[in-house]
Structure 1
């Protein structure tokens, strides 16, 4: 981790993500800009939360560590979000592992200062409520879907979620990351991609997926993942 001493860049992120709607200047004077390189851990389970983070640029993944040492991939973050909501309010150790999978910038605010002087601020409490409710909805939605539907339906939904106005999508995650997110193995994921190709629904060129039969793909998609 590197602390970026660049107030111009810090203020750019504050304006871009309307962070003054969450924090007053009395708190933002403590804000730091932290930079994490690809594959670097941002938070680790069972460690103390030193900073409450606002994710402002890059890509990170959130994993829950099980007692047997294995982990479950919960979500990817590619848009503005916060890290440490539960830990900050309850003053407990970090619950999840957070890892940068692209070079990432976060705004860091010291947890102790927030606990001592800001946790009863209405603007901040509203932000916390919205943040926690969105995360609960996303994790509940995705976990239920992974349990209920075969992989071909889950993969179709994942692809549909990324469709824009083009006839193809460009995957930003590795196939290993997608397999983790969908709750399967790399081999099973590869077989399912091949099955969709053999049915003439998609065509794969590395991480570019051409949509040949969008209507058929949407029929297979039973739900939409929240990523």
Structure 2
């Protein structure tokens, strides 16, 4: 991790993500900019939360470690998001491992200062409630969907979330990452993509997926969309 002493860049991210609407100026006076290189750990489970983080550029991976050494991928986050909401509120050790999938910038605010001096701050509390509510909704939605529906429906839902006004989607995540996110294996994902190609729903060319039948894809998605990586 590198601390970036560039107030212009810090202010750029604050304005870009309208962070001044989330925190009072007194809190933002404590904010610093941290940079993590690709594959570098940001937080490790069981450690003390030193900073409340706001992801302002890059991509991170969140996974839950088990005692037997295995881990479960929970989520990928890209661009603006928050890290450490629950740990900050409950004052508990970090629950999950988080690392940078690509070079990542984080706005860091010391957690001890937030707890000791600003836990009666209405704007901060509203922000934490909103952030936790959104994460809870997305987690319940995605996990429930993964259990109930076959992969072809989950994958269709994931692709629908990426549709723009173009006739193709450029994936920002690897197929292995997408497989983990959808709760399946790389081989099963590959078979399902080929099945959808054989039905002329999509056409895959490396990281670009052409949508050949939008209506069929939306029908397969069941209108219950998996939140994207």
* TM-score of Structure 1 vs Structure 2, range by shorter chain: over 0.9
Shift of 1:24: 2.1
Structure 2 match to 1:224: 225
Shift of 1:132: 0.4
Shift of 1:75: 1.7
Shift of 1:38: 1.1
Structure 1 residue ranges without an equivalent (≥5): none
Which one is further off, 97-106 or 70-79? Answer: 70-79
String of CA shifts for 1:162-198, please: whole Å, max 9, x gaps: 0000000000000110000000001111111111111
Matched, 1:96 2:96: yes
Structure 2 match to 1:4: 4
Q: TM-score, normalised by structure 2?
A: 0.96
Matched, 1:26 2:21: no
Secondary structure, aligned partner of 1:219? helix
Structure 2 residue ranges without an equivalent (≥5): none
Structure 1 match to 2:36: 36
Shift of 1:79: 3.3
Structure 1 match to 2:114: 114
How many pairs align?
Answer: 227
String of CA shifts for 1:42-69, please: whole Å, max 9, x gaps: 1111111010001111111211223332
Structure 1 match to 2:49: 49
Question: Could you tell me how far apart the structure 1 residues matched to 2:138 and 2:39 are?
Answer: 24
Shift of 1:70: 1.9
Shift of 1:214: 1.0
Instruction: Tell me which stretches of 4 or more aligned residues in structure 1 moved more than 4 Å.
Output: none
Question: Could you tell me how far apart the structure 2 residues matched to 1:69 and 1:143 are?
Answer: 22
String of CA shifts for 1:109-131, please: whole Å, max 9, x gaps: 11111111011100000000000
Q: How does 1:1-227 map onto structure 2 within 5 Å?
A: 1-222=1-222, 223-227=224-228
Question: Could you tell me how far apart the structure 2 residues matched to 1:87 and 1:225 are?
Answer: 26
Question: Could you tell me how far apart the structure 2 residues matched to 1:28 and 1:82 are?
Answer: 15
